[in-house]
Each structure stands twice: as C-alpha cells, then as structure tokens.
Amino acid sequence: MLAAFIHHNRRARSAVDVDTALRVDRHRQESPPLALDKPQCRTSQDQSWWRPTARSLTAVALVLASTPPALAAPNTLLGPPGQAQLAGVPAALVQRPDRHLVLQRRQRRLLVLEAGELIRSYPVAVGMPGWDTPVGRFEVLNMQVNPVWEHPAKGTRIGPGPANPLGSRWIGFQKDCAGRRGVSGDQVLDLQGCLMTGFHGTPHRWTVGRAVSHGCVRLHDESVQELFELVQVGTSVTVLP
C-alpha cells in the first residue's frame, strides 16, 4: 500500500523522473524483425494499454517515490563503492578474464564484468512469478537496433518508435523452442514455437527495478543503448537466482 503522505520534495523529484523523455536513436537504419524467433517479452494487459493522464502520472510518481534507491538508480559508473555489488557473485565468475554479463535476478541488477573489474551496473526489470527470467549460463545470440516487436500469441507487430515495448535495442541471449504456457492477468497464454529471452529497452521507465516482465530483462533505454556497445554476439551471460 502506498504511504498516505510523502515529502513534497520527493514527490516533485519523482514526477520529474516520470516526465524524462526516452532517447531513441533515430540516426541508424531500422533493423528488420527477428526472422526465426520471437521475443517472448510482451506487455499485454500490464503495460501496453497505459497512457499518461494527470491522475496516473501522480500515482506513478508515488510509486517511484517509494522505490528503494538501489532499484531506482540509473546507470552506475563504477568506483570502489561499486564493488559491494559483487557480493553474492561467485569468485570464479568475477575473475573471468573476458568481458561478460552477470544478472542478479533477486537484486534486479545487471553487471558488466571484465578481468575481475566491475565495468558497469544497471537496474533492470525481470520476469514476474510464473514467467521467471531463466537461470543459468547463456550467451548473446543476436542483437538488433530499432527492433520490431511481435506479440508472441497474436502475431501483431509494433515498429520502431517510442511506443515499441522493446525500446530501441534488443540483445537476445536465450532460445526456448519448447513453448510456454502460463497465466497473464486474466488470460491464459499458450505460446508455441521458438521464443527468445533478451535484454531490451522499455517505454515504461517506472517498471525498471521490478518483477513485471514475461521473462525478458528490461533496462532504461539509455542503459540498453550503452550496453549494446559493450557486448557482441557470443558474449557470456550468467543469470543468478
């Protein structure tokens, strides 16, 4: 339950966060949609219908004001204090010489590591209960600029732009051809064929730091644009519980 009273300065600061514009890269040529696999990420009843109104913006501002700073913080450039974020990451994983990604699912943090150093840290949104982001060792399989989002059940598409649920970047790292079945709101989804899990942007900034997706990992759009330049196909991805 939201607190009935929030200090005025915190409410004002949160409202500013809500109004922060997405920085979408319009200078690179639009990429074609994924040809073989569909991202399982979707918004359906939870976010795709949302349109800002004065009342809803106030409600979102209150939610943001109550978000722990560790989850709401933007991209983190690492210095010595950032090393505390390595707590819980196996030492052998930290000391790997190559650049790799570690997703701390419980902390909702994505770490970029290389030769024992923490290069970047990003807050993320992960899968909701029943649509959990898969745990294990993977690698980047495909990358796209300005991806086309396809509804995994209905097949409808949304092209590049501020309304695209994938934001301006897609980095796929897990392929599942077994299909998935689960409850989403008041619907039962039965997804067939090969589905992809990946990192991507989002037009719904307020969801970052929460377990709200259908398995994919959401970042602020400026974060996923930076991450896109730090990885390549074949980069190792480890998802911890």
Q: Per residue in 158-173, pLDDT tens?
A: 999 999 999 999 999 9
pLDDT band at 182 (very low <50, low <70, confident <90, very high): low
Where are the extended beta strands (E) located within 90-210?
100-104, 109-114, 117-123, 126-127, 136-139, 142-145, 149-150, 157-158, 169-176, 180-184, 187-191, 195-200
Identify the top-confidence range among 35-44, 112-121, 174-183: 112-121
pLDDT band at 41 (very low <50, low <70, confident <90, very high): low
Domains of the chain (ranges plus CATH)?
31-52+74-240 (2.40.440.10)
Residue-wise pLDDT tens digits, 189-212: 667 678 899 999 999 999 999 999
pLDDT at 177: 82
3-state secondary structure of 104: strand
Identify the top-confidence range among 20-24, 61-65, 181-185: 181-185
d(CA 206, CA 50): 12
The residues, any chain, with a CB within 8 Å of residue 147's CB and separated by 6 or more, are 31, 33, 34, 39, 160, 164, 166, 169, 170, 200
pTM of the model: 0.68
d(CA 159, CA 223): 20
Q: Which residues pair with 35 in a beta bridge?
A: none
Pairing of strands 169-176, 142-145: antiparallel
Distances (CA, A) of 188 to 132, 133, 159, 210: 16, 18, 26, 22
Please work out, in degrees rounded to the nearest 5, the angle formed at the alpha carbon of residue 227 by the alpha carbons of 222 and 233.
140
Structure-model confidence comparison of residues 139 and 16, the more confident one: 139
Range of lowest pLDDT (31-40, 113-122, 178-187):
31-40
